[in-house]
A and B are shown apart, each in its own frame.
Chain A
Amino acid sequence: MAFTPKTPSRQRSRSETKTPLTPSMMNGISSMSLASPTKRQTNQRGAIADTISANPFISSRPSSPVKRTTSGALQITEALSKQANSGVIRKGGIESRLDVITHDYVPPPRTDPKRSKSTGTLQRDTRDRFITSRNADVGEVAATLELMHLSHSSSSPSHTARLASATGVPINKRILSYHEPPPPPSDTTLAAQRDAVRPLYARTGSLPTSTGATTNKSRKISTQPERVLDAPGMVDDFYLNLLSWSCLNVVAVALAENTYIWKADTGAVTHVGEAPEGSYVSSVSFSSDGMFLGVGCGTGEVELWDVETGQRLRSMSGHQGQIAALSWNNHILSSGCGDGSIWHHDVRVARHKVMELLGHTGEVCGLTWREDGELLASGGNDNVVNIWDGRIAESVTGSHVSAKWTKRNHTAAVKALAWCPWQPSLLASGGGTNDATINIWNSTTGARLHSLATSSQVTNIHWSPHRKEFLSTHGYPNNSIMIHAYPSMERVAEIRDAHDTRVLFCARSPGGDLVVTGAGDENLKFWRVWEVPKEKKGKGREKASSSTGILGIR
């Protein structure tokens, strides 16, 4: 007979619900809050369990109360029990009085053994006249209620009905379910596939619409190419670098095994040469004076061509894999190989290999010298960005040189690399499909200054020489060209669907106002993305005037 509330709050709530078996109990349930469902529940269940065990209508259990108060005792008349058995209780009839009986009744001691869990003294509970006993066992009630669905015959109908009305849980009802099980979730392999491509369409910056371009209001950038050239046979390979634009305003493009140059000022096309039999051109790069063209081949040769005469000057062999990246520094031509090695070729001497840089475990696909020739940045299929000291040691062939900085922040192949022309310590690098991030590094301190997540693989980055902006080209799904402001990293403009396939190759004009892009859709497109500043023109500087002259395109 000794039950004690666990917590004061429980006592409080009890006093609020003086007649717990009347519909006010519903209120009790309703008042359950998210904050403390457990406690209140305990309350409810305790009350219900009492009712279950304290059933006054089971005739076989002659009332043998331990304690019975005088007030409100109700005789179990024949009519009443009949009514009870039929499971119908009239409203406003005996209901309230029934409650009184129930509460005064004390369950026989043989009740559920589990109850012994929480016992206490009755004294503390005296304030509550209506509930003299309370089962604190949280566990039982809900289960009991559910069980009653199945074996409601075991309990008396009136009790069941009362319970039903008190708790809102329907008793005496059938529980039905549809004969079929619900359909299984759609193909799990499909879900896995969706997961795999999620990076492509659920990235930050990808817009819900796929129409055209978004441009900043302050800038108007033409979303149409200035000129489109046909580039039949252009290889759709992310790792290659098949476009170069020289300072003499000549564009070199490699189409499978052939290399062509297109003179931008006249529009003339010249076939420069062919890769060796059974090979293909995997990279082209103009020397800084624009006179020579370095050509990397799929079989590992690095060739040197004279642009004017269209003659092959020499072929430098030795690499075992495809040459996917080339970069010039005066007379040094650096080549990145499929086996991860970077060689410096001195094109003037017979023993051309003057240095070997080993810092990549995957194919080198991005390689670019800083303009002053002090630093060389390389990116590889091993997701690493290396920055090398540009000095050629005298007798280093064979000795191991390690990179000045090694950056492993990218999570995909790094092809896009660009040194900032107006702040020499800045290097921008962009990662492939799984990464799609552009990082800006300080090559002096090695710090990562900015990181920009884009919506798709970064294939190329070019800085504007005149503006604090840089341009990036991207792959699936938008095949876009984006222009970002620096250092805010805000997107100034985006040209959607610049090509029908991913924009793989990109070169900037010497004037700095145009870029040419190439893609697997076998088109070269010229985009006017930046303006050459007018004041320079006004000053009559040679370069500015030439930008309309030989640096313009026809």
Chain B
Amino acid sequence: MAPTKQAPTRQAITLKGSTNLVTEFFKYAVNTILFQRGVYPEDDFHMVKKYGQTVLVTQDLALENYLDKILKQVNKWLLTGGVTQLVLAIISKDTRTPLERWVFDINLVEQPAGSSEVPPPKPESEIQAEIRYILKQIVSTVTFLPIMDEPTVFNILAYTSESADIPADEWVDTDPLAIEASKSQQVKLRSFSTDVHRIEAMVAYRYDG
């Protein structure tokens, strides 16, 4: 299951395409979460047609740039297989307690060891449909996630391998912002996969029921 290092050399072109696809997915997923969970005011978002549906994307320049910077680095890590998980943590602004963790596992798709023939490439439309399902699911999580009535901030954590190339002055080691297990509920979301990557989503939220 652990990502293997030989993967990047397998299909260079597909890898790059897949990486961009995955990065793009993160962009829209993060935006959707920030909008749905009210981390930023609704007015900061505008509608964009994407994946055959409307997605709300921030038009706050500062936030846009911030996400761009992060995603650029994530893109690099994806190319080298350096990142295994991305977490979007939503934290209470005042108490700094983590309220929600949106976890995206990034796995490299391994070819079946026995079969020598390359499986037919997955059609883009199918990938898009899978992404669309995830985004829709994120939207629908609002129905069961606890209401956060306090102001919140977010943080994006990247779980990288020890060997990954890390721009030292830009990325720093950090706390996992874990939710105490006794107060945490987890819900597995859908996943999507390209020919190279497989993204599995999960949300954990604080629930003191």
Q: Which A residues are within 8 Å of any B CB, using their own CB?
A: 23, 26, 29-32, 34, 37-38, 41, 45, 138-144, 146, 149-150, 161, 164-165, 168-170, 172-186, 191, 194
Chain B nearest CB: distance from A155 CB in Å? 16
Task: Tell me how many residue pairs across A and B have CB atoms closer than 8 Å.
Answer: 134
Please, which residues of chain A bring their CB within 8 A of the CB of B185?
37-38, 41
Contact A175 B66 (CB under 8 A): no
Other A-B contacts than A174-B159, A176-B159, 20 sampled, CB-CB below 8 A, are: A29-B188, A32-B187, A32-B188, A37-B186, A142-B179, A144-B181, A150-B176, A164-B1, A170-B161, A172-B162, A173-B160, A174-B164, A177-B155, A177-B156, A177-B171, A178-B170, A180-B66, A184-B153, A186-B40, A186-B41
Given known A-B contacts A168-B105, A185-B39, A175 and B157 have beta carbons under 8 A apart: yes
B2 within 8 A of A: yes
Which residue of the partner chain, among A32, A178, A185, A186, contacts B69 with CB atoms under 8 Å? Answer: A178
Chain A nearest CB: distance from B78 CB in Å? 14
Please, which residues of chain B bring their CB within 8 A of the CB of A177?
155-158, 171-172, 174
What would be 15 A-B contacts, judged by CB atoms less than 8 Å apart?
A: A30-B188, A34-B144, A41-B186, A164-B2, A170-B159, A173-B160, A174-B159, A174-B160, A174-B161, A176-B172, A179-B169, A180-B66, A181-B153, A182-B66, A183-B60
Nearest A-chain residue to B44, judged by Cβ: A186
Given known A-B contacts A23-B1, A173-B159, A194-B43, A183 and B62 have beta carbons under 8 A apart: yes
Please, which residues of chain B bring their CB within 8 A of the CB of A178?
66, 69-70, 73, 156, 170-171
B63 within 8 A of A: yes
Nearest A-chain residue to B60, judged by Cβ: A186
Please, which residues of chain A bring their CB within 8 A of the CB of B164?
174
Contact A37 B187 (CB under 8 A): yes
Complex CA distance for A260 and B39, rounded to whole angstroms: 58
Please, which residues of chain A bring their CB within 8 A of the CB of B162?
172-174
Chain B nearest CB: distance from A254 CB in Å? 41
Please, which residues of chain A bring their CB within 8 A of the CB of B160?
173-174, 176
What per-residue 1/0 map shows which CB atoms of B136-166 lie under 8 Å from chain A? 0000000010000001011111111110101
Q: Which B residues are within 8 Å of any A CB, using their own CB?
A: 1-2, 39-41, 43-44, 60, 62-63, 66, 69-70, 73, 84-85, 105, 107, 144, 151, 153-162, 164, 166, 169-176, 178-182, 184-188, 200, 204
Please, which residues of chain B bring their CB within 8 A of the CB of A26?
1
Please, which residues of chain B bring their CB within 8 A of the CB of A165?
1-2
Which one of B39, B170, B182 has the greatest number of beta carbons of chain A within 10 Å? B182
Complex CA distance for A34 and B84, rounded to whole angstroms: 25
Please, which residues of chain A bring their CB within 8 A of the CB of B43?
186, 191, 194
Please, which residues of chain B bring their CB within 8 A of the CB of A191?
41, 43
Complex CA distance for A205 and B110, rounded to whole angstroms: 54
Chain B nearest CB: distance from A19 CB in Å? 15
Which residue of the partner chain, among B40, B171, B176, B178, contacts A179 with CB atoms under 8 Å? Answer: B171
Contact B187 A176 (CB under 8 A): no
Contact A168 B188 (CB under 8 A): no
Complex CA distance for A150 and B170, rounded to whole angstroms: 20
Nearest A-chain residue to B69, judged by Cβ: A178
Complex CA distance for A127 and B119, rounded to whole angstroms: 41
Please, which residues of chain B bring their CB within 8 A of the CB of A138?
181-182
Which 8 A-B pairs give the minimum distances between C-beta atoms?
A139-B182, A183-B62, A146-B178, A142-B181, A143-B181, A170-B84, A177-B174, A176-B171
Contact A179 B170 (CB under 8 A): yes
Complex CA distance for A138 and B186, rounded to whole angstroms: 12
Contact B2 A161 (CB under 8 A): yes
Nearest B-chain residue to A144, judged by Cβ: B181
Chain A nearest CB: distance from B72 CB in Å? 11
Contact A175 B176 (CB under 8 A): yes
Complex CA distance for A38 and B182, rounded to whole angstroms: 10
Which residue of the partner chain, among A29, A142, A174, contacts B166 with CB atoms under 8 Å? Answer: A174
Which residue of the partner chain, among B41, B158, B178, contacts A185 with CB atoms under 8 Å? Answer: B41
Nearest A-chain residue to B89, judged by Cβ: A177
